[in-house]
Structure 1
Amino acid sequence: MTKSLAERKKTGSHYTSGDLSKYMAEKLNEFAEFDVYGEKKSILDPSCGGGELLKAVCNEIGTENLQVIGMDTDKVAIDEASDYLNTSNNSNIHLFNSDYLELFDNDTEFDLFSSIKMREDFWCSTEEEDGLQKVDMIIANPPYVRTQVLGAEKAQDLGRKFNLKGRVDLYHVFLVAMTKHLKENGLICVITSNRYLTTAGGKDIRGFLDENYEILEVIDLGDTKLFEAAVLPAIFIGRKKSKYSTKKNHKVKFLRIYENTAAINTTEKCHSIYELLSKKKSGFFEVERKKYEVTVGFLNIPKDSKEIWVMASQEDNMWSETVKSLAKYIFNDVFHVKVGIKTTADSVFIRKDWDTLEDFTKPENEVLKPLVSSDTASKWNLSNEVEDLKILYTHEVRDGKRQVIDLEQYPKTKTYLETHRERLEGRDYVRQANRKWYEIWVPQNPEAWSAPKVVFPDISIEPKFAVDTKGYLVDGNCYWLSLKNTEDVDLLFLAVTVANSKFMSRFHEIEFQNKLYAGRKRYLTQYVKNYPLPDPHSVHSQRLIELGKILTANRLNDEQIRMYEMEIENKVQQAFGL
């Protein structure tokens, strides 16, 4: 069964492949505890789609002593799953075309288990909560739908119902619902986005999983593209804690796979990604001419869920802790770290072709500002292409305060914006915030743009920190550092040399664990603000400042850049006392 991209995005229906389903069923069986007397068990897939996961479970475990239950909102998928699982010939398989989350509505008339016609002695436990009879195991690939697609009203409603705060993604809701539905000591094997592992927004889910589960294993599938969803997936395997359990998650088995295009020493060729999933040791491997790095180890789960889950060797952790102990500051002590402008209507406000517009609709030059974006961000100094991209900037400073521009003062700008008025007025959140219909959503401080700053892209294979002294504005796909003490301009050059070093790349990987696809990393505020900074007054830091000025003020050839970068690596080590 196939769905359009729009349908998949709206419903989060990214079905699990046969090979991945087989792997998940094997992992579930690995941790399952079956009674020697043949105790009957129940397993649920609350978003079963075409039945691939349940089919894998049936093949791996069998159904003689297993009650198999599947649900999905898509009737076509349920019909296909019924045929695929041959339910007419197996009384232990039960599929329902229904919304799983409605089981948790107080006024629901649908009782899952009363709908299952079975012997009264099938259930060995009558463990119930709110009238919902619980299951022994759950295997799932719940729908991944972000707040923006769910809609604010739906997200808030689900947040209230399942006691979730902040930005609610649908897979968060399913994790809470499935946990409610699972018996004590019940087993879950679920595939979700891996974002909760390493982002500030994932802190509530990290805390929830740590509190409710003995975490057995986490497998970060990274950029392996084992199924077609845009998110990077991870598999979570856990055993639900009893109400009185005091057991803490300490050393949790962890496996991570990411493509590594820079890998040189490939030690082994493998037939498939699934062969890599069975590796017991870290290393570099090749599958169909692509190189992957496999990291195997133990996950450090800190007491504070605000801290990310870190997978690193003992040696790496010791090195990172040493660097932090030797730092004079962290970036957040001396810099403001901010995301760039967010317009929420980029095609209206950001263009390269302003000069092609009719004169009477081309906005006045005073409101068109050069904009640094991820396409033009580069290491050390900014590309000349920055001048080509301009943003219609709708804010200015009046009487010491940021104000939206008065369109009556800019008649051409007014004419241009009026042609896009319907779209701009359609941004409900702008109107609800009592903002002007033509404002960009996140303008930042107009006065701060003109001061010297460091600019860097949100996503990049390598660090690309550059010093800007021309007063460019910064797009929302980039971040920027501004000085808390505007007189300490030299700190910008120290920051750019430290941030661009391999030394700091190692620190970033150990501390923040964030990897995307093909070796790319995120450079978010929550990461960069915690970069360590050595004593700016040491002789080594002073040399780093000199090198930063040379590299950012001159157009050098590749050989010259390599020479200076080699010196920077040495000086950064020395500046931290290593």
Structure 2
Amino acid sequence: MASTHHGVVYTKKWVVDLILDVAGYVPGTGISDKVIIEPSCGCGAFLTVIAGRLADDAIAVGKGWTSLGNAIRAYDIDSASIETARKAAVEALMTRGCPAIQARELCEQWIVHGDFILDDVPAADFIVGNPPYVRAVEIDRTKRSLYVKRLSSVTTGCDLYVSFFDRGLDTLKVGGTLCFICADRWLQNKYGTLLRSRIGTDCDLVSLVRMHGVDAFDDEVDAYPAVTTVRKGVAADHLKFVNCAPEFNEADATAVLDWLMDDEPDLVGERFEAFEIDKPTGDRMYPLGNHDLVRFVSQACERLPKLEEAGVKLGIGIATGCDDVFLTEDDDLVESDRMVPIFYMRDHRRGNDDRQRWLVNPWNDDGTLVNLDKYPRLKTYLETNKERLSRRYVAKKNKTAWYRTIDKLTPGLLDRDLLLMPDMAAQPDPILSHGKYPHHNCYWITSDEWDLEVLGGLLMADTTRRFIDALGVKMRGGTLRFQAQYLRLVHMPKYIQISDTNKLGLSRAFNEKDRALATKFAEAAYKEAAE
């Protein structure tokens, strides 16, 4: 492949072999009568192995070299990489007895300098490879618009590999197989919604070998990869799933392949777990992780209401767009009724709970901006900083509202007890607060039905972490994102379903900050609610 700055990396040979085996591109099975596409061939990590397997199959059945011209199509937009790939593929053919002239002619025909997503491509029996990982904001805008216009499952927020999936599925023949190693984020985030919806219509997600942290590439990658296999045709109810430990290696690949190919029960290896998952319906996110984690989350999703359906409200703290101006430690900076005490999560996590900060509030209670002429000190302060505030995107959209914060304040929050959840943490860590408005790096939770100490105990338990772990996008170092979009996926008992004993236990665990105790009573609460 070309280089990591193009969003591509080299795939190790044993991983290439595993992908081709999983896809079914195996000599002796008639692959010389099939068409395989490599949509982003780079320097030929896949292509050389494909060429070798095709040659072995052709030799076995007595096919001539000239009959193989349409058996492979490999695409790339980088001309230097294509030259490298051609040379490698020619060598792979020649080592199997193909004359040099024919080998070069075949590779000239096979390898196309073009864009797989936009160019006309032949219908294929197999599509395999490692699509480049390029974030949505880094894709050329003109091309991104063309991708969105052409592909039904792609939006402007999709990372590039989603376009390769969608174009690949459009290109597959009925019964054909697509097998990529790339990020699995589309199964668990917003931009994957349309692609998840497509699964189960004209195609089937057959298997997923999740290789987070596995040494599968020659370069370090930012995205967590998985070997994802999709077949064009009627969908089954189950997904064959392999959850690999970071130490998973070539020695494990044979056992995993055997399990994927057969109707065997769950398989536990030293460095992997293999089991079936009931597929979520429609565009719902897929719970992924170890067996116990997936089972717990799947059963809770089936039997219990989501957090907001269980009488819990949540939202995000205020984003100002210019904290240097809108946040202050001077409680007498402007008129007192324009000063709102604010909860700043970073102070709490650093043990600086005594540190006081205030929000300079430009909003009336009804959500309109205040008339600055009625607040001379506020007016003087904001106009002193008008140049900085006016440069913000939110101010450029409405120049008369140049002094607004990005978000408005939610009425009544200052008068309520709140549970505040850090955006990023290794474990759920709700904090009980009153009389301070939350800053945007945390999410607020409240309820008219719940005792918030009981709710805090439930949310701090490992049961909550399991939902975020199974349904949320992972970050490096094991950090989880406790964003509203993922908190809303937590399923939990209703307050009235929890026994007094478990309520008391959860409240005690929350006050004592005892996560193990909270987990004990939370698990009991989940069990009694599901019965």
Same fold per superposition (TM over 0.5): yes
Is the counterpart of residue 482 in structure 1 residue 446 in structure 2?
yes
Q: Which residue of 2 aligns with 1:471?
A: 436
Distance 1:306 1:186 in 2: 25
Distance 1:19 1:329 in 2: 42
The correspondence of residues 35-434 of structure 1 with structure 2, limited to 5 A, is: 35=30, 39-62=32-55, 64=58, 65=68, 67-86=71-90, 89-93=103-107, 94-103=110-119, 132-150=121-139, 155-164=144-153, 166=155, 167-224=157-214, 226-227=216-217, 228-241=220-233, 247-258=234-245, 273-280=249-256, 283=268, 285=270, 294-308=272-286, 317=295, 321=299, 325=303, 330-342=307-319, 370-373=342-345, 384-385=351-352, 395-403=361-369, 406=372, 409-416=378-385, 418-419=387-388, 422=391, 424=392, 427=393, 431-432=396-397
The amino acid across from 1:250 in the alignment is: D
SS in 2 for 1:533: coil
SS in 2 for 1:177: helix
Match of 2:504 among 540, 543, 549: 543
Q: Which residue of 2 aligns with 1:533?
A: 493
Deviates more, 1:62-71 or 1:452-461: 62-71
**1:147-183 residue CA offsets vs partner (Å, 9 max, x unmatched):** 3333777545432221346533322222221222222
Contact 1:344–1:441, Cα closer than 8 Å, also in 2: yes
Q: In the TM superposition, what is the alpha-carbon distance from 1:80 to its structure 2 partner?
A: 2.6
SS in 2 for 1:186: strand
Contact 1:534–1:541, Cα closer than 8 Å, also in 2: no
Distance 1:249 1:570 in 2: 32
Q: In the TM superposition, what is the alpha-carbon distance from 1:24 to its structure 2 partner?
A: 2.1
**1:470-495 residue CA offsets vs partner (Å, 9 max, x unmatched):** 4142334x322133x3xx5x532121
Contact 2:127–2:179, Cα closer than 8 Å, also in 1: yes
**1:542-570 residue CA offsets vs partner (Å, 9 max, x unmatched):** 41464266337xxxxxxxx4785477457
Distance 1:186 1:571, change over 3 A: closer
Q: In the TM superposition, what is the alpha-carbon distance from 1:205 to its structure 2 partner?
A: 0.9
Q: In the TM superposition, what is the alpha-carbon distance from 1:235 to its structure 2 partner?
A: 1.8
Distance 2:163 2:398 in 1: 27
Distance 1:504 1:2 in 2: 42
SS in 2 for 1:337: strand
Task: Extract unaligned runs of 5+ from structure 1.
Answer: 105-131, 242-246, 260-269, 286-291, 553-560
Contact 1:254–1:299, Cα closer than 8 Å, also in 2: yes
Distance 1:320 1:54, change over 3 A: closer
SS in 1 for 2:199: helix
The amino acid across from 1:401 in the alignment is: G
Normalising to structure 2: TM-score of the pair? Answer: 0.75
Contact 1:397–1:447, Cα closer than 8 Å, also in 2: no
Q: In the TM superposition, what is the alpha-carbon distance from 1:497 to its structure 2 partner?
A: 0.5
Q: In the TM superposition, what is the alpha-carbon distance from 1:340 to its structure 2 partner?
A: 3.8
The amino acid across from 2:460 in the alignment is: N
Distance 1:170 1:239 in 2: 21
Distance 1:213 1:465 in 2: 41
Distance 1:388 1:52, change over 3 A: farther
Q: In the TM superposition, what is the alpha-carbon distance from 1:323 to its structure 2 partner?
A: 8.9
The amino acid across from 2:225 in the alignment is: P
Q: Which residue of 2 aligns with 1:13?
A: 8
SS in 2 for 1:401: coil
The amino acid across from 2:440 in the alignment is: D
Distance 1:209 1:192, change over 3 A: farther
Contact 1:187–1:240, Cα closer than 8 Å, also in 2: yes
Is the counterpart of residue 498 in structure 1 residue 485 in structure 2?
no
Distance 1:318 1:370 in 2: 37
How many equivalent residue pairs?
488
Distance 1:449 1:81, change over 3 A: farther
The amino acid across from 1:140 in the alignment is: G
Normalising to structure 1: TM-score of the pair? Answer: 0.70
Name whichever structure is richer in helix by fraction.
2
| Alignment RMSD | 4.3
The amino acid across from 2:250 in the alignment is: Y
Contact 1:402–1:446, Cα closer than 8 Å, also in 2: no
The amino acid across from 2:419 in the alignment is: V
Distance 2:516 2:114 in 1: 64
Distance 2:160 2:295 in 1: 34
Distance 2:408 2:523 in 1: 39
Q: In the TM superposition, what is the alpha-carbon distance from 1:255 to its structure 2 partner?
A: 0.7
Distance 2:213 2:251 in 1: 16
The amino acid across from 1:525 in the alignment is: A
Distance 1:368 1:415, change over 3 A: farther
Q: Which residue of 2 aligns with 1:288?
A: none
Name whichever structure is richer in strand by fraction.
1
**1:271-314 residue CA offsets vs partner (Å, 9 max, x unmatched):** x53334445565575xxxxxx6x331113213333353567759
Q: Which residue of 2 aligns with 1:120?
A: none
Distance 1:405 1:148 in 2: 38
The amino acid across from 1:495 in the alignment is: L
SS in 1 for 2:227: strand
Distance 1:315 1:503, change over 3 A: closer
Distance 1:469 1:412, change over 3 A: same
Distance 1:170 1:432, change over 3 A: farther
Distance 1:434 1:284, change over 3 A: farther
Distance 1:469 1:32 in 2: 68
The amino acid across from 2:484 in the alignment is: T
Distance 1:420 1:178 in 2: 46
The amino acid across from 1:44 in the alignment is: I
Q: In the TM superposition, what is the alpha-carbon distance from 1:522 to its structure 2 partner?
A: 3.7
Contact 1:135–1:186, Cα closer than 8 Å, also in 2: yes
Distance 1:405 1:223 in 2: 55
Contact 1:479–1:525, Cα closer than 8 Å, also in 2: yes
**1:498-534 residue CA offsets vs partner (Å, 9 max, x unmatched):** 1112344456656x37655554444343443343134
The amino acid across from 1:494 in the alignment is: V
Distance 2:117 2:137 in 1: 19
Q: Which residue of 2 aligns with 1:556?
A: none
